[in-house]
């Protein structure tokens, strides 16, 4: 039995793991597209997304107050882009890309942290471990980002209040300024031009994550405008030389640079408000159920369907036979409780990412209600070696059937908005009769626009679901409707009753018409 990393399901971990590792091929998320290749900047002269993403993480973290345990990587910078300390379009460019990934399960702050990982990986840099669970701020925090005009004492004391020593400060600045540079339209006096195209890089290898920013500084061949520019704005020179170049000399070796930067940038992105508990570092699950779905049919059977993603990085073998052994609804099992998950043909059935490759298998299986499924384990049989068993850290992969969202009977009427431009969302769910005595809710994540902030806010809305149709199978069908503002048509919803729920689904997979049961 092979370890699974974390116990599935987990709303945040599942979502962030997919965004982090499913980059191309089948079921691709495409997060790394924004920083690939490393020098990429939406083909706009003077832009490098990878550099902007890393700078965004620093500016967001930099207002952390270590003593008070407030601020840090909490996406408060969304509200702070007008401040002089946050000059430039880097931040809103970054949010513009993260926009479509932001959800109830993927906080902007976690996406900013993941942005550092993706940027460095795309630029041949080290792997920065990614923990998740950051919580987004709902308003601006106090200012406090160091600026190039600040004197050394001010910069040192700002890093100290974030919780970083002088040596940490030197490392963090050098590790940041390996990518990108200074924009003429933000700092014309430093670049000698105020044009958008004028982009003075920190080192000659700005599209490769390496120690050139350090070695060129030590050899005095550097063109870094924060070293060679006007005295008033030479902050890199002041920072790098504060200990007589000791720290910079230690980082000159590229291998040392990589490990030093992985470690200091990890500390940077894990600088969070004290009420945030971060997860263990994410690694790709060796076996992961993707979008498992249940549907109650009018003949009294239940259909279970979804995908099983299997890691294939360590194998020289894509001929994998994948089966699921399931337990009935009452927990009993039998040797005939086996579902075959069939390799998907589209795109070779495979996907990959910066941390490895996957194969996807699909299953669709109908069972009599009396049997049902409560959980399953997965077996993988490679063509050339023994069978592997995956049991979700001993818990089995749970499959709950006390609440079933009925997508065929649910719909999102996007063709006929009401007078205020709202779309009607109707969700029908089959709910076990034993739950009917207490209320069942449709819970919708509504997005709302915020003044001066590119990214909409998220708020949980609840409506009680009403009786819709009886069945003779021990379930009642309930229906709930919610008017979604047009900015919010693509969002997540779930159905919940006490401890029972059918987890978040995307409104994107609903059609325009609610069908009959
Ligand atoms: C004393 C502290 C720091 C000062 C004064 C400073 C200052 C600056 C300035 C003036 C720019 C040019 C921005 C523009 O032209 O729009 C810049 C860019 C950048 N900074 Fe820093 N920085 C500091 C620390 C850091 C740290 C700790 C990191 C990350 C670990 C970082 C990452 C970056 C990156 C990646 C860019 C390039 C952005 C781009 O190319 O669009 N900086 N920094």
CATH number for the domain including 420? 2.60.40
Determine whether the shortest distance from the Cβ of 339 to ligand 1 is under 6 A.
Answer: no
Q: Distance, CA 94 to ligand 1 centroid (Å)?
A: 14
Distance from C-alpha of 495 to C-alpha of 223, rounded to nearest angstrom: 58
Residue with CA closest to ligand 1 atom 31: 176
- Answer yes or no: is 18 within a domain: no
ipTM for the whole predicted complex goes beyond 0.85: yes
Provide the domain limits for residue 442.
404-509
- Answer yes or no: is 138 within a domain: yes
Residues 93 and 182 in one domain: yes
**In this predicted structure, what is the pLDDT of residue 318?**
67
Residues 232 and 171 in one domain: yes
Determine whether the shortest distance from the Cβ of 300 to ligand 1 is under 6 A.
Answer: no
Residue 330 CB neighbour total at 10 angstroms: 9
Last residue of a domain, one of 343, 369, 400: 400
Determine whether the shortest distance from the Cβ of 235 to ligand 1 is under 6 A.
Answer: yes
Residues 114 and 137 in one domain: yes
- Answer yes or no: is 2 within a domain: no
CATH number of the domain residue 127 falls in: 1.10.520.10
**In this predicted structure, what is the pLDDT of residue 514?**
95
Residues 120 and 86 in one domain: yes
**In this predicted structure, what is the pLDDT of residue 1?**
44
Residue with CA closest to ligand 1 atom 28: 176
Residues 136 and 68 in one domain: yes
Token pair recorded at residue 209:
């994550």
Determine whether the shortest distance from the Cβ of 148 to ligand 1 is under 6 A.
Answer: yes
Counting from 1 in the atom list of ligand 1, the atom nearest the Cα of 201 is 40
Counting from 1 in the atom list of ligand 1, the atom nearest the Cα of 181 is 40
Q: Distance, CA 63 to ligand 1 centroid (Å)?
A: 15
Mutate to test the pocket of ligand 1, among 55, 186, 194, 195 (most ligand atoms within 8 A of CB): 55
Last residue of a domain, one of 400, 427, 456: 400
Residues 364 and 291 in one domain: yes
Distance from C-alpha of 509 to C-alpha of 407, rounded to nearest angstrom: 8
Distance from C-alpha of 279 to C-alpha of 276, rounded to nearest angstrom: 10
Residues 370 and 394 in one domain: yes
Distance from C-alpha of 7 to C-alpha of 380, rounded to nearest angstrom: 19
Counting from 1 in the atom list of ligand 1, the atom nearest the Cα of 148 is 5
Residues 262 and 299 in one domain: no
**In this predicted structure, what is the pLDDT of residue 52?**
98
Residue with CA closest to ligand 1 atom 17: 182
- Answer yes or no: is 66 within a domain: yes
Residue 418 CB neighbour total at 10 angstroms: 10
- Answer yes or no: is 15 within a domain: no
Q: Distance, CA 174 to ligand 1 centroid (Å)?
A: 10
Q: Give the helix/strand (H/E) hosting 120.
A: helix 108-122
Sequence-distant (≥ 6) Cβ neighbours of residue 8 within 8 angstroms: 14, 285, 288, 289, 392, 397
Q: Give the helix/strand (H/E) hosting 495.
A: strand 492-497
Counting from 1 in the atom list of ligand 1, the atom nearest the Cα of 150 is 5
For each successive 10 residues of the chain (517 residues), what is the average pLDDT? 73 95 92 94 85 98 98 98 96 95 96 98 96 97 97 98 98 98 94 91 96 98 96 97 98 98 98 96 94 93 94 80 93 93 86 87 90 93 90 92 95 88 96 96 95 94 97 95 92 96 91 94
Determine whether the shortest distance from the Cβ of 187 to ligand 1 is under 6 A.
Answer: yes
Query: How many distinct helices (H) and strands (E) make up the chain?
Result: 12, 21
169 backbone dihedrals φ, ψ, rounded to 5°: -60, -50
Counting from 1 in the atom list of ligand 1, the atom nearest the Cα of 90 is 41
Residues 321 and 334 in one domain: yes
Token pair recorded at residue 244:
């007589």
Token pair recorded at residue 478:
């309930």
Residues 167 and 121 in one domain: yes
- Answer yes or no: is 169 within a domain: yes
Q: Are strands 492-497 and 422-432 parallel, antiparallel or unpaired?
A: unpaired
User: Taking the mean position of all CA atoms in its chain, how far away is CA 200?
Assistant: 31
In our burial notation (b when 16+ CB lie closer than 10 A, e otherwise), range 49-68 reads bbbbbbbbbbbbbbbbbeee
Residues 410 and 472 in one domain: yes
Alpha-helical (H) ranges within 163-253 are 166-176, 188-191, 212-218, 225-228, 235-240, 246-250
Determine whether the shortest distance from the Cβ of 172 to ligand 1 is under 6 A.
Answer: yes
- Answer yes or no: is 4 within a domain: no
Q: Distance, CA 51 to ligand 1 centroid (Å)?
A: 9
- Answer yes or no: is 14 within a domain: no
Residue with CA closest to ligand 1 atom 20: 55
Residues 291 and 438 in one domain: no
Task: Find out whether the peptide bond into 9 is cis, omega within 30 degrees of 0.
Answer: yes
254 backbone dihedrals φ, ψ, rounded to 5°: -60, -35
Last residue of a domain, one of 400, 415, 450: 400
Contact assessment for residue 435 and residue 500, using Cβ atoms and an 8 Å cutoff: yes
Domain count along the chain: 3
- Of 190, 151, 149, 145, the residue nearest 172 (C-alpha): 145
């Amino acid at each position: 039995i092979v370890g699974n990393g974390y116990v599935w399901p987990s709303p945040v971990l599942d979502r962030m793991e997919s965004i982090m590792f499913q980059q191309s091929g089948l079921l691709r998320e495409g997060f790394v597209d924004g920083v690939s290749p490393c020098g990429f900047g939406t083909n706009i002269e003077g832009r490098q997304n990878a550099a902007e993403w890393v700078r965004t993480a620093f500016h967001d973290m930099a207002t952390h107050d270590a003593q008070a345990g407030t601020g840090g990587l909490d996406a408060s910078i969304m509200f702070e882009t007008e401040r002089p300390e946050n000059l430039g379009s880097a931040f809103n460019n970054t949010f513009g890309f993260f926009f479509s990934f932001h959800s109830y399960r993927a906080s902007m702050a976690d996406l900013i942290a993941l942005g550092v990982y993706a940027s460095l990986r795309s630029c041949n840099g080290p792997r920065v471990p990614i923990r998740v669970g950051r919580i987004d701020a709902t308003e601006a925090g106090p200012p406090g980002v160091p600026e190039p005009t600040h004197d050394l004492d001010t910069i040192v004391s700002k890093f100290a209040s974030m919780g970083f020593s002088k040596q940490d400060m030197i490392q963090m600045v050098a590790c940041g300024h390996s990518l990108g540079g200074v924009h003429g339209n933000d700092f014309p006096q430093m670049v000698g031009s105020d044009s958008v195209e004028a982009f003075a890089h920190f080192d000659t290898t700005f599209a490769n994550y390496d120690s050139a920013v350090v070695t060129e500084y030590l050899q005095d061949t550097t063109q870094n405008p924060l070293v060679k520019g006007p005295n008033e704005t030479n902050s890199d020179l002041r920072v790098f030389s504060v200990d007589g170049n000791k720290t910079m000399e230690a980082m000159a070796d590229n291998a040392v640079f990589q490990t030093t930067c992985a470690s200091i940038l990890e500390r940077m992105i894990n600088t969070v408000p004290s009420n945030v508990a971060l997860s263990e570092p994410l690694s790709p699950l060796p076996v992961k159920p993707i979008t498992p779905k249940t549907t109650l049919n009018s003949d009294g059977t239940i259909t279970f369907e979804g995908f099983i993603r299997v890691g294939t990085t360590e194998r020289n073998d894509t001929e994998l036979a994948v089966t699921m052994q399931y337990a009935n609804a009452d927990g009993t099992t039998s040797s005939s409780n086996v579902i075959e998950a069939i390799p998907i043909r589209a795109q070779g059935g495979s996907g990959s990412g910066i941390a490895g490759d996957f194969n996807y298998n699909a299953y669709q299986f109908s069972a009599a209600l009396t049997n049902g499924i409560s959980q399953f384990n997965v077996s993988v049989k490679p063509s050339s070696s023994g069978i592997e068993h995956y049991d979700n850290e001993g818990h089995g992969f749970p499959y709950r059937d006390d609440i079933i969202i009925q997508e065929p009977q649910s719909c999102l009427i996007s063709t006929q908005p009401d007078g205020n431009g709202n779309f009607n969302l109707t969700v029908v769910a089959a709910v076990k009769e034993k739950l009917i005595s207490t209320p069942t809710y449709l819970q919708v994540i509504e997005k709302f626009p915020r003044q001066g902030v590119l990214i909409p806010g998220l708020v949980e809305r609840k409506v009680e679901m009403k009786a819709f149709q009886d069945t003779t199978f021990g379930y009642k069908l309930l229906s709930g409707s919610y008017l979604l503002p047009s900015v919010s048509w693509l969002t997540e919803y779930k159905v919940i009753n006490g401890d029972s729920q059918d987890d978040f689904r995307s409104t994107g997979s609903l059609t325009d018409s609610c069908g009959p049961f």
